[in-house]
Amino acid sequence: MAITCTVTPGTTMATGIDLSASNLNELGTPTVVVPTISQTSITLENYTVANLPSNGTVGRLVFVTNGDGGSLPCIAVDNGTDWVRVNLGSAVSATDVEEYIIAE
């Protein structure tokens, strides 16, 4: 799965790619596709339902601070038509007890 992110010109990524304005040749704001992220955590961009970007770019992933019923956080994925919610479940645990969220 490719992960797409928007970066600001002038940023040097950990890959050593220099995204300075001179290197971009005034192409505007670039979109960088990262094929794999491993051995590190990622931090998702935070939004509220009211300030989510327009949908229509399949595969974007964001953290919505009030996206699960208006007061609970969730992760959302842009499916090209809508932002769809991925509900957050129980806390992570080292036990083998599994808990499931039942659809309402």
In this structure, the answer to whether residues 61 and 78 fall within a common structural domain is: yes
pLDDT at 54 over 60: yes
pLDDT (average), residues 43-62: 94
Count of structural domains, the chain: 2
Interval 17-49: pLDDT, tens: 565 656 655 556 667 777 787 888 888 999 999
Q: What percent of the chain has pLDDT over 70?
A: 62
Domain span at 5: 1-37
Cα–Cα distance measured from residue 73 to residue 44, given in angstroms and rounded to the nearest whole number: 12
In this structure, the answer to whether residues 17 and 63 fall within a common structural domain is: no
In this structure, the answer to whether residues 52 and 94 fall within a common structural domain is: yes
In this structure, the answer to whether residues 47 and 97 fall within a common structural domain is: yes
